[in-house]
Each structure stands twice: as structure tokens, then as C-alpha cells.
Chains A and B, each alone.
Chain A
């Protein structure tokens, strides 16, 4: 069925450490993979996305890697800061759904000073 698996559900790191969040998807036709950051009580904000024609994309301290063969993609945050604390959601379009994104269950990241 339609599903995007996301791990871990919670992640606690010290400021300056790296954080990695992983997602797997089921539809091999999917070729667009966004990551959203959601602070408490606020809207999901797109922070980075990747399309299937590349294996990695970086934007300052944030990077996303994609393995199409294994159908998984990961978010990497380096040099974490307390303001990175939030819930992060991966998403993917699934089941021939041209117009819908299926979200992962979310990862609550806590960065401790």
C-alpha cells in the first residue's frame, strides 16, 4: 500500500553534532522527494528537495541523498544548532498519485546546547 517509512521517530543530539533522518518509499516511479521542517504550531516549510536525476543535493548545512535502487532517501544536517530543533517530515508522491504527497510519520529532532 501507500507508505513512506521514516526513522527515527525522535532524535536527540548535542549542538555541533550531525543528524541523519532516513526515509523509504514504495513507488519506484516517484522522482521527487521533499523534506519539510515544522516548528511547533507552524506550517511545514520546505527546506530541501531532490529529484531522481541526482544522487545528492546540498544547501549549506543541509544535504539530501537519494538511492533509487534501494528506494530510500536521507536528510543530513551538519553542525546542528538549537534552532534546528523541530519535527522533520519526508514526503514522496506514491501509487501513481500525480497530485498527492504521502508524508512520513515525522522525526522530532532536539538539539541540546
Chain B
């Protein structure tokens, strides 16, 4: 069964450094998402992406964040200047339909980002 994959599984970085989290969505999916989960808390929506542009983003997704689909298979989340509070598990998800109200979203295994 196809799955969303993410790399790396764990990323440790110094505050102020840039990080890029990588995701390979399920191949026939067209809608892509990033979520984050601070340890022990709920999953929070960051951004959705379709047709090479952001379709929706949350208040968390400020100017320090960007997303890209550089080559038709990878979907990346970049944090330009990491802060301590960016430490969290970041999940990529993908789906076949553009409507979250009718859309099964399949999650990747996550990247644990630790900012020191």
C-alpha cells in the first residue's frame, strides 16, 4: 500500500539556522499539507498546497515558513530562521481531493525537529 514518506526522521538544529523538511506524497495525490504537533499537544494545520501554490495557511505559517514542490515528487517545508518554539513533530499529508470536507488525508511518519 502506498505511503507518504518523510526525511529526515529527526533533525537537530541551532536556533537561527534554516531547515528543510522533505516529503514524498502518495504518487497520484494532488493536494499536500503540512501539520505540526508540539510534544503532547494536538495536531495543528500549517499549510495546504495545490497546483504549485498555497491554497490555505494558518497563523502559525508566517514569513519564516515556505513550501515548495521542486520536482513533481518532493514537497518541502522550509523554516528560514528556526526558533526554539519551532521544536515539534512535523507531519506531511496528502490527499486526492481538494476539499478537506470530503478528503481523506494520509499522514507521513513525521520529522521530529529539535531546535537548540
The count of residues in chain B whose C-beta lies closer than 8 Å to any C-beta of chain A is: 26
Q: Which of A17-33 contact B (CB under 8 A)?
A: 29-32
Residues of chain B with a CB closer than 8 A to A105's CB: 41-42
> For window 31-55 of chain B, which residues contact chain A by CB distance below 8 Å?
31, 33, 41-45, 48, 50, 55
Contacts of A101 in B (CB 8 A): 45, 100, 105
| Pair B104/A99 contact, Cβ less than 8 Å | no
- Bound: A48/B101 CA distance, A: 15
- Chain A residues whose C-beta falls within 8 Å of the C-beta of B31 in the assembled complex: 99
Find B43's partner among A29, A89, A93, A99 (CB 8 Å cutoff).
A89
Query: Closest 6 interchain pairs by CB?
Result: A99-B48, A93-B100, A93-B101, A100-B45, A103-B43, A43-B107
* Contact in complex: B56, A100 (CB < 8 Å): yes
Pick the contact of A89 from B42, B99, B104 — CB < 8 Å? Answer: B42
Q: Is residue B58 within 8 Å, beta carbon to beta carbon, of the partner chain?
A: yes
Q: How many residues of A contact B (CB 8 A)?
A: 26
* B107–A45 CB distance below 8 A: yes
In the complex, the answer to whether B100 meets A98 with C-beta atoms within 8 Å is yes
Return B46 CB to nearest CB of chain A, in Å: 9
Some 10 contacts from A to B, beta carbons below 8 A apart, are A34-B104, A34-B105, A43-B109, A46-B106, A98-B56, A98-B100, A99-B33, A99-B99, A101-B45, A105-B42
CA distance A36 to B101 in the complex (A): 15
Most buried by B among A31, A43, A51, A101: A43
